Structure formats: structure tokens, C-alpha cells
Amino acid sequence: MAEALKIGIAGLGTVGAATIRILTAAHNELAARAGRPIEIVAVSARSKGRDRGVDLGPYRWYDDPAAMAADPEVRLVVELMGGSEGAAKEAIEAALSLGKPVVTANKALLAAHGPALAALAEMNGTTIAFEAAAAGGIPVIKALREALVGNRISRVSGILNGTCNYILSRMEAEGLDFAACLKAAQELGYAEADPTFDVEGYDTAHKLALLTALAFGTEVDGDAVYVEGISGVTPLDLDMAEELGFRIKLLGVAERTPQGIEQRVHPTFVSRQSQLSSVMGVTNAVAIEADPVGTITLVGPGAGGGATASAVVGDIVDIARGNLVATFGRPSGELEKPIRAPMQRHEGGYYIRLSVLDRPGAAAIIATRMAERGISLESILQKGRDARRNANGSVPVILITYATTELLIRNAVAAIAEDGVLDGPPQVIRIER
């Protein structure tokens, strides 16, 4: 058997500890699969004294993860600290500069610095593996980077954040509002004390930026992702989705359009006939549309120590086998500058919920503003004088449009607001049929 691959792990939180447990418990089996033993020789974290449920005694301790990366005995660096700057970035740069491969789960860092880090890896004859950075235990990175290289991919879409999917699933099932379900998610450990990164869509956007680069051969462009979160979704929206044959999901979507690559994250009406619609709770799913294979949907746990550590260990074994694939599937110099498709040009159907003052002529004004912009309405529903009517005498009016553009919808809604018939901001949700 070949010489052992000796690794250092920076970051000993839930995922780091789970990675150590897998590597130690399955040591012999992993050695057989990799063709060589895999040995942890060094670790680094903020606090040495914290009980992590694993024995750190056999490993050298480093307060500075960059110093650990420079340890001559460490031949592979596993970065599980997180954060787009600071210690994580310094440790990865230190490893790559010395020609050492890196395994990371750090989607924020790759979304911000992916092209530069990939170029640094290539300059020094090594690579970055990041299966754990998107969709947890689902092997979507390997599918895009290796298994589907014979296909032309046209679209990648998915549920990429378990926290948001849990909240929306529970809101639908129990009729609870967003705040109540967020609190429950925090109590169960599915959401952080500050949940903004998850619920406002930024976590999904970082993951989508990585999938886009792999799918379309472009540089990672996190700034090009249009982002909306789920905090504005109400029980009425979910009720209407059910009545109309949909579910609401926070989707990340990247697709080729005549204008360029469109990247967007937002709540979406998803047909109940689709596979993504049936994905509930903290589960993630990714659908890949490609030629000639067609559509592939991958479903599985998207978060948690075990699922993410599974992806980390998979990457470690790949590198132990000598499988050093280019970070984003092709040499960094061949990654194309992405042409950003403006969100205003996005075409599709829309669900629009307006809080309309209950006065004569209001419905006619709404219909007129839509017609002026050539927007065809599939249906208008007034969920009127019932318990949903508020103290100001307004009622929810629901519009379902045929295919149109984001720009026309936004202009029409703004014109309706200027007419003074609305009591509160409108809700606009895109429809995926």
C-alpha cells in the first residue's frame, strides 16, 4: 500500500468533529478504498480546551491555521472554519502556495475569491475540492465537474438551504407565520441566532454562484446573483399556492438565456407536479437540465455535521487516490467571463398579492395598469371581506399573470401604488410551471 496521506484540519466545530469521527472510525475501510492510509496529524481551532466529543490528543495543535498549513508533514489541508476573509483565506492561500491540495466547505470564501484561489492552485500544481460547499451530502459538485462533462447544461435549479425549506414546510403544514417558524428552527438548531444569511437568501446565492461556474464554465460571479429571501412570505401566500396547485420554495436558479447567464434566488411558486415541490423539511434538492442526458434531480440532506462531513471525507479520499481535478472543472484561464443576464429581462409567470383599499374602481385601476403594459392576467382573485380584512379596510387581491417580464411587472406594480389604492407593499413571487 502507498504512503499515508497526512492531513491537517482547521476548524473543529460540528463538521470538523464529525470529519474526525469518520476518518478514525472507518480508517481501515477508507485506506482500502483510497489505496493508502489517511492520517490526521495536526488540527487548529480557536479554543484548545473546548470539549468536542473527539480525542485530539494524538494530533499536533496549532493556534494559527496558516502555520498548520505550512507544517512539512501536512500534505493536505482541510479548511472547515468558514468566513470569506481572515484565517480561513490565509490558511488556504498558505497551503496552495506550497502545492498542497485543499478540501473546504467554505462557500462564502469561494464565492468571493474562487477564481484567484483556483489560479493559485494551478500555479502550484494542486487543486481545491469543495463538495461540501453546496448542498451538503448531495454529490452535485462531482456530478457537474466530472460525471456530466459530456453534456451541455442549460439550467441548474434547486433548494439549497435547509433552514428556509424547513420554515416554509412548517408554515404550510401548520399555518404558522414566518416569525413563529423561524423561532422553532432556531430552537432545533436549524437556524442561527442571527438568521439573516440563511433566510434572506445569501447562503443560497453563494452556493448557486459555485454551481453556475461548474455548469457553464464561467468564473464565479457572486455579485451577479439576484437575491430575495423568504421573510416576506405569509400564510396567505402559502394558502393561495396550495389553492392554485403550487408550493412555495426558496429556489436558486441559474440558466442560459439569450441575454447571458441568469442567476437568481427568490421564493418561487413550484408546481406540485414537480420533484422539487415534494422536497420538504431540511432536505435539499438540485435539478440539472442537460443535453443529452435530460433532467437529473439529486435529493438528500443539505446540512448537518454528518452530511457535510460525508462530503468532506469523499473529497479527501478522491485526493488520496490522486484525483486532482481542476477546481472549477477546467483550467482557470479557460473560464469565461460571465455575461450577466439582467433580472429585469427575466420572463415568466407571476403571482402578485396586493393589499387593496376596499373602494369603488380599485379593481379597474389595477386591471388598467396591467393592460397598459401588455400584461395578460390568467386570473384575479379577491380574498375579500373575511377574517383577512385588516383594520384599514383593505382586502387581499391576487393576480396570476401569463408569461411577461420582471421589468413590466415592477413598472405596473409601481404605477398601481402611485394611484393610491394600496395599503401596504405588494408581494411578487415568480412562478415555475
Sign of CA dihedral 194, 351, 420, 388: negative
Strand ranges in 218-319 using DSSP code E only, listed in sequence order = 226-227, 246-257, 260-271, 283-291, 294-301
Cβ count near 432 (within 10 Å): 17
Task: Please identify which residue in the block is written with the cell numbers 500500500.
Answer: 1
Residue 244 has phi, psi (to 5 degrees) of: -95, 0
CB-hemisphere CA count at 13 Å for 132? 30
Spell out where 125-245 has E strands: 128-129, 152-159, 226-227
Looking at residue 189, its amino acid is: G
Give the active site residue among 207, 249, 337, 383: 207
Cα 387 to Cα 396: distance, rounded to the nearest angstrom:
11
Long-range pairs for 372-381 at CB < 8 Å and ≥24 separation? 372/412, 372/415, 373/404, 373/408, 373/411, 373/412, 374/404, 374/408, 375/401, 375/402, 375/404, 375/408, 375/409, 375/412, 376/401, 376/402, 376/404, 377/401, 377/402, 378/349, 378/402, 381/240
* 270: its cell numbers: 413550484
Cell 406540485 sits at which residue? 272
Q: Which helix (H) or strand (E) holds 92?
A: helix 87-97
- Is position 249 annotated as part of the catalytic site? no
The values of phi and psi at residue 227, to 5°, are: -130, 130
Rounded CA Rg of the chain: 24
Tell me how far apart the alpha carbons of residues 117 and 240 are, in angstroms, rounded to a whole number.
Answer: 45
Burial of residue 243 (number of CB atoms within 10 Å: 0-12, 13-18, 19+): exposed
Please identify every residue annotated as catalytic.
Answer: 207
